Amino acid sequence: MTLCWCPRRVGLIEFTCAVLLTSALAGLLGALTGLGGGVVIVPALALVFHVDLRYAVGASLISVIATSSGAAVSYVREGFSNVRIGMFLEVATTLGAVAGAYLAARISTHAIGIIFGITLLYSAWSSFRHNQDVQAHPPNALAEKLKLTGDYPVGGVRQTYIGQNVPAGFGIMAIAGILSGLLGIGSGAVKVLAMDSAMKLPFKVSTTTSNFMIGVTAAASAGVYLRRGYIAPGLAAPVMLGVLAGSIAGARLLVRIRVPILRLIFAVVIVALGVEMIYSGATGRL
């Protein structure tokens, strides 16, 4: 019996091993750049391994849940992630993720490929953004009412902050959720944009809170994909294990590798993947 997510010309064992290694590399790059492994593994499965795009998205969502759950614990323990802000914004991303997952079953894979390509190009640009924390902000009535405040460690002391532009951040988070459900990625770059640029939260708080959130967002989408039969255990398992192993290795290597060089390599790779995804979607190859 031929598996609909596994190319016929490749043996199942060889295919699984190749996916495992590719997923590990995706997890490594995702951990080191902060953009997550989904932006690499989905186009890799679709373009290199010729997996149906919806099955690739389903497998990526499972890997996002695993990697986010593992990394979020340490960030919360160290006092960087703001759980209250994350859970408030998660209302928007969860609703968006469910909507995106339902849209994925109604939008052609060609259109999804084009949208994914555009998202990859944005992620490449986002990887070069160097944000500077703005430590002082005027009081914000809505943020104070919702208690969207906190503090995080800076040089041995706790630096306080308060959210700004709450409606704008909430709206961008809904967009991030739709992209996550539609494309099978954590949409970390869009989440960081909402918290860092719109809500003016410190960059470390934005990135770590985003990491805490993406697992919940992916879980909301994964339920829809599972019900529609787009999560194949034989594909999702090696993807999840590979991305998780790569993420753990990336977290340990982060302090030793010159990240600007890695960001350049990562950006070149995903720009190439983004252009190929747009071309493949426009020409009907997906």
Nearest 5°: the CA angle 194, 195, 199 is: 95
d(CA 177, CA 219): 11
Q: What are phi and psi of 276, to 5 degrees?
A: -65, -40
pTM, two decimals, is: 0.72
d(CA 15, CA 23): 12
Burial of 14 (0-12, 13-18, 19+ CB in 10 A): exposed
Residue whose pair of structure tokens reads 């302090």 in the numeric block: 255
Q: Answer whether residue 1 is part of any domain.
A: no
Per-residue pLDDT tens over the stretch 86-105: 999 999 998 998 898 888 77
Q: Answer whether residue 48 is part of any domain.
A: yes
With cut-offs at 50, 70 and 90, classify the pLDDT of residue 3.
low
Q: Given a cut of 60, is residue 186 above it in pLDDT? A: yes
Per-residue pLDDT tens over the stretch 22-71: 999 888 877 766 666 777 888 889 888 888 888 998 998 888 887 777 66
Q: Tokens representing 165?
A: 């532009």
Per-residue pLDDT tens over the stretch 133-180: 445 556 678 888 888 888 888 777 888 898 888 999 999 899 888 888
Asked if residue 41 lies in contact with residue 239, where contact means CB atoms within 8 angstroms, the answer is yes
Q: Answer whether residue 3 is part of any domain.
A: no
Q: Given a cut of 70, is residue 270 above it in pLDDT? A: yes
pLDDT reported for residue 53: 85
Q: Answer whether residue 4 is part of any domain.
A: no
Dihedral sign from CA coordinates of 116, 62, 49, 189:
positive
Q: Answer whether residue 63 is part of any domain.
A: yes
Q: Which structural domain, as residue segments, surrounds residue 142?
A: 12-283
Q: Answer whether residue 6 is part of any domain.
A: no
With cut-offs at 50, 70 and 90, classify the pLDDT of residue 9.
low
Q: Is 34 left (phi over 0), alpha (psi -120 to 50) or beta?
A: left
CB burial readout 164-180, b (16+ within 10 A) else e: bbbeebbebbbbbbbbb
What's the domain count of the chain?
Answer: 1
Widest distance between CA atoms in the chain: 64
pLDDT reported for residue 156: 76
Find the range with the poorest average confidence among 62-76, 127-141, 208-222. 127-141
Asked if residue 185 lies in contact with residue 30, where contact means CB atoms within 8 angstroms, the answer is no
Q: Answer whether residue 29 is part of any domain.
A: yes
Asked if residue 97 lies in contact with residue 178, where contact means CB atoms within 8 angstroms, the answer is yes
Q: Answer whether residue 211 is part of any domain.
A: yes
